[in-house]
Amino acid sequence: MKIIHATDYEDMSRKAANLIAAQVTLKPNCVLGLATGSTPIGTYKGLVAKYEAGDLDFSEVSSYNLDEYRGLTGDDPQSYRYFMNDNLFDHVNIDKSRTFVPDGSNMDAEANCAAYDGLVGAAGYPDLQLLGIGNNGHIGFNEPDDHFSCGTHCVDLTESTIEANSRLFDRIEDVPRQAYTMGTQTIMFARQILVLANGEKKAQAVHDMCFGPIAPSCPASILQLHPNVVVIADDEALALCKDKLA
Ligand code: F6R
């Protein structure tokens, strides 16, 4: 794992946008694995700015998002499809028919997840997978468990994730209780993984991801076994790793 220290959120976002831009420049028809949440918003802004400056061309890129709330349609402002359109896809020249997010409106979990795995596999898996990390160490919506997950599946969100995500909803009761998520194994098939983390709430999870035992109680810890992981984290998120990095 390569750990890059960022001073703050802006610095983290700028560094991440630069890495993703390099990937798209080096391989214009690359497959990107994308994430939602607060963490990558600044990165997506940076990518939009590079596109607007004429420095980046998304016309041949395809993308696969990690996850989606089960029961939400893509036009629901709380859905991850809406988030991706709003934060990135609507502002760059990506062909939306090549952007994929699990279909939250399909309640047939088994068929839906198998279809999504088929799509990601047929695309050859992401060249670059962008990840945030949950306060509890989740990646995608792969929550702490007694085993690591495999392919795309339907999960019951933990109370801590529902609580963390409720900040984006009017009421905590409105947060969906289930989601479709790429599995840990699918995430590990990406050729490069870029994990972003900022803020003190992520400090324990970042420590356990990088230096804890590899255990499903911290799903992100499996990334220690991946040959090409870059973590970009700010001061606060690296607070518990200082002695290890010195
Ligand atoms: C989002 C996702 C989640 C988030 C994580 C951190 O697609 O897969 O794993 O990356 O919950 O969320 P934020 O960035 O809101 O702290």
Domains in the chain: boundaries: 2-191+206-234
Angle at 78 between CA 75 and CA 80, to 5 degrees: 75
Q: Mean of the pLDDT values across residues 14-30?
A: 98
Give the residue whose CA is nearest to atom 3 of ligand 1. Answer: 140
- Which residues lie below 8 Å from residue 170, measured CB to CB, with a gap of 6+? none
- The band of 200, judged by pLDDT with boundaries at 50, 70 and 90, is very high
Residue with tokens 């670059």: 128
Q: Are 48 and 85 in contact (CB under 8 A)?
A: no
Please name the amino acid found at residue 241: C
Amino acid at 79: S
Lowest mean pLDDT among 37-46, 153-162, 213-222: 153-162
Annotated active-site residue 136? The verdict is yes
Task: Give CA–CA dist 122/114, Å, rounded.
Answer: 12
Residue 87 has pLDDT above 90, yes or no: yes
Contacts of 184 (CB under 8 A, 6+ apart): 139, 140, 142, 148, 149, 150, 219, 222
- Going from the Cα of 9 to the center of ligand 1, the distance in angstroms, rounded, reads 15
- Ligand 1 contact via 67 beta carbon (within 6 Å): yes
- Residue 168 pLDDT class (50, 70, 90 cuts): confident
Confidence check: pLDDT of 40 > 90: yes
Question: Long-range contacts of range 24-28, CB-CB < 8 Å, 24 or more positions apart?
Answer: 24/56, 24/57, 24/58, 24/61, 25/56, 27/127, 28/57, 28/59, 28/60, 28/61
For 116-130, the pLDDT digits (tens) are: 999 999 999 999 999
pLDDT at res. 175: 93
- Using DSSP, state whether 34 is helix, strand or coil: strand
143 catalytic residue (yes or no): yes
Mean pLDDT of 83-111: 98
List the residue whose alpha carbon is closest to atom 1 of ligand 1.
36
Q: Is 200 a catalytic residue?
A: no
Please indicate whether residue 33, judged by its CB atom, sits closer than 6 Å to ligand 1: no
Type of residue numbered 54: G
pLDDT bin (cut points 50, 70, 90) of residue 185 is very high
- From CA 232, how far away is CA 240, in angstroms rounded? 15
246 band by pLDDT with thresholds 50, 70 and 90: confident
- Assess whether 85 carries a catalytic annotation: no
Residue-averaged pLDDT of the chain: 97
**202-211: average pLDDT:** 98
CATH 3.40.30.10, domain 2-191+206-234, yes or no: no
In angstroms, the CA 103 to CA 88 distance is: 18
Residues 134-161 have pLDDT tens digits of 999 999 999 999 999 999 999 999 998 8
Global confidence as pTM: 0.97
